[in-house]
């Protein structure tokens, strides 16, 4: 029993410490996944501290008591800072009476608190997998998506959310860690289309954006059946980049695929979770990252395929090769592609209202990407909200989101932004 108590106390201390470490700390650099996990599980760490510390004190175990108390305190610090109010950002964008613009029916179904240890379970959405919404003109493959609709009895908000997954344009697929979020959105009356856009190196950036434009047109053509009237682009990381790029370029001739003709590809709003805005800057960041030795690429590829990071025929790609694969060369070889592929290059008054959410400790996409977009949009007079969550890493919304303080906080803000879009704003 003594060994178990001390093991739990040490674990609580380590997890609490990791939940508060800066991204520059050497252990965080080596094991960023552990940092993300510790932050998501900080409520569990706090509960373990509450359970184990009185027992340690009763047993007069000073060291174990101290570790348990410190670990629990650090976990609570993380929760408190991550879930601090952000309403002033909405007031700056939408005015002091912004909450009055959210329809009462939508507001009643939103997440009511920024953080709840045991959130209520929403009704199960109607989930239709592998809907064919078009065809990749470049490859001839069908363009697939999962369609999430509100459960029977849930009033529709009129919003159709087109979601684009992340992972460096080379990895992952639709339906990867997003089911709790989509069920949450559908419970508020929103329709969600989770699109499996073509990945690199099979396709380059222009083809990916063309897939997004096809999906926009599909949603608009099916709006009467889906009972929607507005399209919102949303994505994380690479998906956030695609959401911004497609959202900022309505009917742009470079990105408009031939098969949609003159169909309108504008959208009502954009939501980016830790998205990329500057392709040259990202290439420099990626080129500086270490890659596994050549002899490790085959086992890494097999592992990535097993956990669905890669499709069955996919191959591991080193970070330094991400941007050349995506854009057809290095920045000095194809500067025009890096320019046209950067959302920063397309900011103008045509940009729709935009919500930007990222972690202040993001280790994958540095905070300057969203900060520059926000500053540019505000200067142009475009409605924009930028939420930067303290003590939060990249991909925070995909790890145990129903208990993660950062994920719940982001959902809270997303709910309100979508409510404003659904309402009179």
Cis peptide bond prior to 396, omega within 30° of 0: no
Tell me, yes or no, if the pTM score tops 0.75.
yes
Whole-number pLDDT of residue 78 = 97
Sequence-separated (6 or more) residues with CB below 8 Å from residue 261: none
Task: Supply the pLDDT for residue 16.
Answer: 96
Domain chopping of the chain, boundaries: 2-82, 87-422
Neighbours of 199 (CB within 10 A): 24
pLDDT at 365: 66
- Based on DSSP, count helices (H) and strands (E) in the chain, helices before strands: 17, 8
- Assess contact for 164 and 146: CB atoms under 8 A: no
Percent of the chain's residues with pLDDT above 70: 98
In whole angstroms, give the CA distance from residue 2 to residue 347.
61
- Tens digit of each residue's pLDDT (9 = 90 or more) over 228-285: 999 999 999 999 999 999 999 999 999 999 999 999 999 999 999 999 999 999 999 8
**CA–CA dist 281, 323 (Å, integer):** 11
**Cα torsion through 239, 208, 300, 296, rounded to 10:** -120
We find that the CATH architecture of domain 87-422 is 3-Layer(aba) Sandwich (3.40)
pLDDT, tens digit (0-9, with 9 covering 90-100), for 135-189: 987 778 999 999 999 999 999 999 999 999 999 999 999 999 999 999 999 999 9
């Amino acid at each position: 029993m003594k060994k178990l108590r001390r093991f739990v106390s040490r674990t609580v201390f380590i997890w609490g410490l990791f939940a508060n470490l800066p991204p520059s700390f050497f252990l965080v650099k080596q094991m960023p996944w552990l940092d993300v996990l510790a932050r998501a599980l900080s409520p569990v760490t706090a509960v373990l501290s509450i359970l184990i510390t009185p027992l340690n004190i009763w047993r007069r175990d000073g060291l174990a008591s101290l570790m348990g108390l410190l670990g629990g305190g650090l976990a609570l610090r993380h929760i408190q800072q991550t879930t601090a109010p952000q309403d002033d950002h909405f007031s700056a964008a939408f005015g002091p009476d912004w909450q009055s613009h959210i329809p009462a029916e939508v507001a009643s179904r939103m997440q009511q608190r920024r953080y709840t240890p045991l959130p209520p379970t929403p009704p199960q959405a109607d989930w239709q997998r592998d809907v064919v919404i078009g065809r990749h003109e470049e490859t001839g493959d069908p363009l697939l998506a999962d369609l999430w609709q509100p459960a029977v009895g849930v009033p529709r908000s009129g919003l159709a959310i087109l979601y684009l997954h992340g992972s460096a344009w080379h990895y992952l697929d639709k339906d990867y860690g997003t089911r709790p979020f989509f069920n949450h959105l559908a419970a508020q009356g929103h329709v969600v289309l989770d699109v499996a856009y073509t990945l690199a190196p099979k396709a380059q950036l222009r083809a990916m954006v063309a897939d997004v434009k096809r999906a926009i047109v599909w949603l608009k053509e099916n709006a009467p059946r889906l009972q929607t009237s507005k399209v919102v682009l949303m994505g994380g990381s690479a998906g956030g980049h695609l959401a911004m790029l497609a959202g900022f370029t309505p009917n742009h001739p470079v990105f408009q695929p031939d098969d949609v003709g003159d169909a309108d590809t504008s959208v009502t709003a954009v939501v980016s979770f830790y998205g990329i805005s500057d392709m040259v800057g990202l290439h420099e960041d990626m080129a500086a990252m270490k890659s596994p030795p050549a002899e490790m690429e085959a086992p890494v590829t097999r592992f990535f395929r097993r956990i669905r990071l890669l499709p069955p025929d996919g191959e591991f790609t080193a970070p330094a090769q991400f941007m050349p694969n995506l854009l057809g060369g290095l920045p000095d070889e194809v500067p025009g592609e890096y320019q046209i592929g950067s959302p920063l290059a397309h900011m103008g008054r045509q940009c729709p209202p935009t919500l930007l959410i990222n972690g202040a400790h993001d280790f994958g996409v540095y905070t300057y990407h969203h900060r520059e977009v926000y500053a540019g949009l505000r200067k142009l007079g475009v409605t924009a909200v930028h939420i930067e969550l303290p003590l939060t890493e990249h991909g925070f919304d995909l790890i145990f989101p129903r208990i993660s303080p950062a994920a719940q906080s982001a959902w809270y803000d997303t709910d309100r932004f979508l409510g404003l879009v659904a309402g009179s704003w």
